[in-house]
Amino acid sequence: MYVRHLTRLAQLTTLGIGGVADAVVEFGEARAFDQVVEFVRGRGGRPVTLGGGSNVLAADDGCRQPVVRVRTRGLRVRDAPDGGGVLITAEAGHPLQELVDTTVAECLTGMETLTGIPGTVGATPVQNVGAYGQEVGDTLTEVQAWDWAANRAVTFDAAACRLGHRSSMFKGSSRWTILRVTFRLTRSKLSRPMDYGMVTEALGVAPGTRVPLAEAAQAVLAVRRAKGMILDPGDPDSRSAGSVFLSPAVDAARAAALRSRGASVHDFPDGSTRVSASWLIRESGFVLNQPLAPGIRVSGKQFTLVAEGAATARAFAEAAAIVAARVERRTGVTLRPELDLFGTEPVYQRLRDRGSGRNGAENRRCCQNF
């Protein structure tokens, strides 16, 4: 275990935004977690857990609670005892990209389109991470965590995690630090059927086609790179948190109308049909590279927000509020934040208050808990 005092959260987040945290407690060995618990207990209250910092907007005034940064690594791969595929248990700090690479190399299908998503495995159940037709909920079987309210280790099966579209019971709560995650994958050299237009176009195959795992992953990476959705220090558009907003759910009539206008509309495992937030942002008249607030602009490749220079959380939240307000005015659709708002900034309220839907409520809770 390693404690860093007075550390800028900007150094620990992909947006490069965030004030000073009083204490950041890092641990790279599972057996050191007892010391982490002791340290946090000594400070009273609950910590905030951080992985790769790729889905958070950290407040300019930083954080007084201890920040627990999970850096453990390791994979355990074995045949499922019931004969149903292969189980992989990953330590929470293991990079998601390395897990996906392992599944592709081992001819295990179920995670190949999650390639290119930054961050740690431990964060994946938090918002049921997903992309291009797959999400963690398709393969997740078990989460082992520390419960800071009950002060004990707990294990949840997939149903107990209450996974939804980019949501779960973990999202917006500081109650649990996830320590280990187990997935069940299927042995196959072929991917799941490829359904996303941009990916099937890159592959040159018809929707529904299964392709070799490595080809599926390469096609997804190419699509992501073109959209600036890969972290690349040489890319000025990669100071980002990915999608700032959730793709909003639409009813069948609206989905049909949007599809007829060329919108990117997809069905999700939770039964919802959703329109891409970036398509709505483009339709609302924003243009690539458009400055929105000091240090914040629309990406040069995709309709999401990126930071540059001395960007602040306040400016980012203001920019997001400007985008959401115009989208609502022009399209009647409410955008809610996907990224987690860490800490308190008065302008966060404008984002939290958008609509009264479930995700809005979750994000409000998230902010109160920090």
Ligand X SMILES: Cc1cc2nc3c(=O)[nH]c(=O)nc-3n(C[C@H](O)[C@H](O)[C@H](O)COP(=O)(O)OP(=O)(O)OC[C@H]3O[C@@H](n4cnc5c(N)ncnc54)[C@H](O)[C@@H]3O)c2cc1C
Footprint on this chain of ligand X (rule: CB under 6 A):
14, 48-56, 70, 92, 117-120, 122-124, 126-127, 129-131, 166, 170, 176-178, 229, 231, 240-242, 340
Burial 152-169 (b: 16+ CB within 10 A, else e): eeeebebeebebbbbbbb
- Is 247 or 284 the residue whose CB approaches ligand X more closely? 247
User: CB of 279: closest distance to ligand X in angstroms?
Assistant: 15
- Is 92 or 254 the residue whose CB approaches ligand X more closely? 92
User: CB of 309: closest distance to ligand X in angstroms?
Assistant: 18
Looking at the DSSP bridge assignments, the partners of residue 146 are: 153, 177
| Cα(325)–Cα(67) distance, integer angstroms | 32
- Is 176 or 316 the residue whose CB approaches ligand X more closely? 176
Which one of 69, 166, 224, 352 is the catalytic residue? Answer: 166
| Cα(90)–Cα(165) distance, integer angstroms | 22
Which one of 91, 135, 318, 338 is the catalytic residue? Answer: 338
- Is 254 or 366 the residue whose CB approaches ligand X more closely? 366
- Is 239 or 354 the residue whose CB approaches ligand X more closely? 239
User: CB of 72: closest distance to ligand X in angstroms?
Assistant: 9
Under 8 Å between Cβ of 220 and 199: yes
| Cα(272)–Cα(186) distance, integer angstroms | 26
Q: Which of 117, 112, 116 is nearest to 138 (CA)?
A: 112
User: CB of 179: closest distance to ligand X in angstroms?
Assistant: 7
Confirm whether 166 is a catalytic residue: yes
Under 8 Å between Cβ of 269 and 137: yes
Q: How many CB atoms are located within 10 Å of the residue 267 CB? A: 12
User: CB of 260: closest distance to ligand X in angstroms?
Assistant: 26
Confirm whether 338 is a catalytic residue: yes
Which one of 243, 247, 276, 299 is the catalytic residue? Answer: 243
Confirm whether 41 is a catalytic residue: no
Under 8 Å between Cβ of 370 and 63: yes
The residues carrying an active-site annotation are 166, 243, 338
